Chain A
Amino acid sequence: MATQNTKALARWMMAPSVGLLLIWMIVPLAMTLWFSFQNYNLLNPGNVSFAGLFNYQYFYTDPAFFQSIWNTMVLVVGVLLITVIGGIALGLLLDQPMFGQGIVRIMIISPFFVMPPVAALVWKNMIMHPGYGVFADISRALGLQPVDWFAQYPLFSIIIIVAWQWLPFATLILLTALQSLDGEQKEAAEMDGANFVNRFIYLTLPHLARSITVVILIQTIFLLGVYAEILVTTNGGPGYASTNLPFLIYRTALLGYDVGGASAGGIIAVILANIVAFFLMRAVGKNLDR
């Protein structure tokens, strides 16, 4: 009797969040799917008609589409490489005894709390600016020609900014994992004469494997949606050189007023994100069973 009551109560306690998330997921997604098959331009809203697969074809044949997919991949992979390798290195560093560890830690994790527009603008104006930036000052001090980062290497510059924002996240998670490594195992390996490299390859790395997977998957989800950093620095240019898929969809929707085209792009983005999500869910789900 009591359990029956508790169960009913439990169901009622969950109802609001389940209901809201259900609406939140289904309604906009269904609308996007519906729009993706329509000719619908906000400049001409009276004239909506069925388009079949035209929007997909249009998006697919647009040369900017492939470039944006490519840019999205370069951005995600580039940032992942920097943050995972850098995160392991920083994690190992922070795991050593040192003076002022708390302050070092605070300084290293700080970039994560900087809102994306601030991070991007600070890097653009104060660090990478070809005239007044710190990099330009360093180049001049060394007698070199300052580099115009955002004009010459737009995507690379954005990768640097985004990697700076996400390095703390990787570091923090990998450090947490490192700290849970059994001290006795480490000592035993040391006693057996394993050097640092061997200990790292055969003991530390396998221990970190799961956390690295989690870092990669979660960052991928967020990195697929990088937007503000591009908006305030290159605005996708020059040309489409630094346009990723979210930015292309934004351009199509709110600058081109093409609802149908943007929706088709949105559906493609959903499919891409789902491929990543599938693996992330498996990794997280496994943990839930333990």
Chain B
Amino acid sequence: MARAVSTRKTVVVTIFAWIVALIIFFPILYTIITSFKSETEAIQGFSLIPSGTVESYGAVQAQSNYFKFFLNSVVLSLGSTFLALLISVPAAWSMAFSPTAKTKDILMWMLSTKMMPAVAVLVPIYLIFRDFGLLDSRIGLTVMLTMINLPIVIWMLYTYFREIPGEILEAARMDGASLWGEIFYVLTPMAVPGIASTMLLNIILAWNEAFWTIRLTTTNAAPLTAFIASFSSPQGLFWAKLSAASTLAIAPILIMGWFSQKQLVRGLTFGAVK
């Protein structure tokens, strides 16, 4: 009897949850559907069944060289992530394994740099970039994205490294492992999952960053955020093309995001919620 009630409750919960989830997911779903419609179909009123044409995808590439923007997004997000990891792995490592009295203050200070509103430094950054010829350059923007995500990367790595038990090092040392042996055979394998999730989250953040990427680029270094933003002009009325461009822009990150749900909570709350 109790079992029957709980099964019925599960069915009710399931139906309700699926309705809510479909409503929330609807804008994304509808974008994907519309991307497979022709332009005339797209404005013919509500329809969930597209004709299945891929002409919009072809048109986006032909008209605006979509691939170039895509490539810029890839270069910027991977480049800035790699650079950020290069700088922060040693820092997080030393803070986690040989903390000093000042470690906590340094961490808090690093976090505080993330609180600085981007607009507050828009003018100086713009002028510095202009004077050094970095406007609309991949290098300039990579450095920019590295810097704005650096505190999050350090924090995330720190919270992962801190969970590696120190005793295991002692055990390795007792067994006669050298310092480098310790690092390569004991610590690195344990740190890899943490580094991987940090990398994933940072790629997502860099890919979706939409202030500096729009303001500091025009054409050469412009990633997908800037490309899509340009659709706000009248050409944005071509909805099937807008949908195709949008679908391509969000698909890789959406899939990565699905895999990193758990790490996301940790990374974005600076370890305050696990």
Contact = CB atoms under 8 A, between A and B. Distances in A.
Given A284-B111, A287-B271, A246 B94 contact: no
Nearest to A168: B24
Interface residues of A, number: 103
Interface of B: 10-11, 13-14, 16-18, 20-22, 24-28, 30-31, 34, 42-43, 45-46, 87-88, 90-91, 93-95, 97-98, 100, 104, 106-108, 110-128, 147, 150-151, 154, 204, 207-208, 210-211, 214-215, 224-225, 228-229, 231-232, 236-237, 239, 242-243, 246, 249-250, 253-254, 256-258, 261, 264-265, 268-274
A7 B20 contact: no
Given A108-B21, A227-B119, A288 B107 contact: yes
Nearest to A273: B117
A204 to B, nearest CB: 15
Interface of A: 6-7, 9-11, 13-14, 16-18, 20-21, 24-25, 27-29, 31-32, 35, 90, 93-94, 96-101, 103-119, 121-127, 132, 134, 137, 164, 167-169, 172-173, 176-177, 210-211, 214, 218, 221, 224-225, 227-228, 231-233, 235, 245-246, 249-250, 253-254, 259, 262-263, 265-267, 269-270, 272-274, 276-277, 280-281, 283-285, 287-288
B22 A107 contact: yes
B246 A121 contact: yes
A173 B31 contact: no
Given A274-B115, A276-B115, A116 B208 contact: yes
Q: Is the interface of A mostly helix, strand, loop or mixed?
A: helix
Contacts of B28: 110-111, 114, 122
6 tightest A-B CB contacts, nearest first:
A31-B124, A266-B120, A13-B90, A113-B257, A10-B94, A277-B115
B122 A262 contact: yes
A142 B31 CA distance: 24
Nearest to B31: A122
A126 B243 contact: yes
A125 B239 contact: yes
A232 B24 contact: no
Contacts of A262: 122-123
B68 to A, nearest CB: 17
Given A98-B13, A227-B210, A167 B24 contact: yes
A281 B210 contact: no
Given A17-B91, A283-B272, 15 more contacts: A9-B94, A24-B147, A35-B124, A101-B17, A108-B25, A115-B208, A122-B31, A125-B236, A132-B239, A134-B46, A250-B215, A253-B126, A254-B215, A273-B117, A288-B104
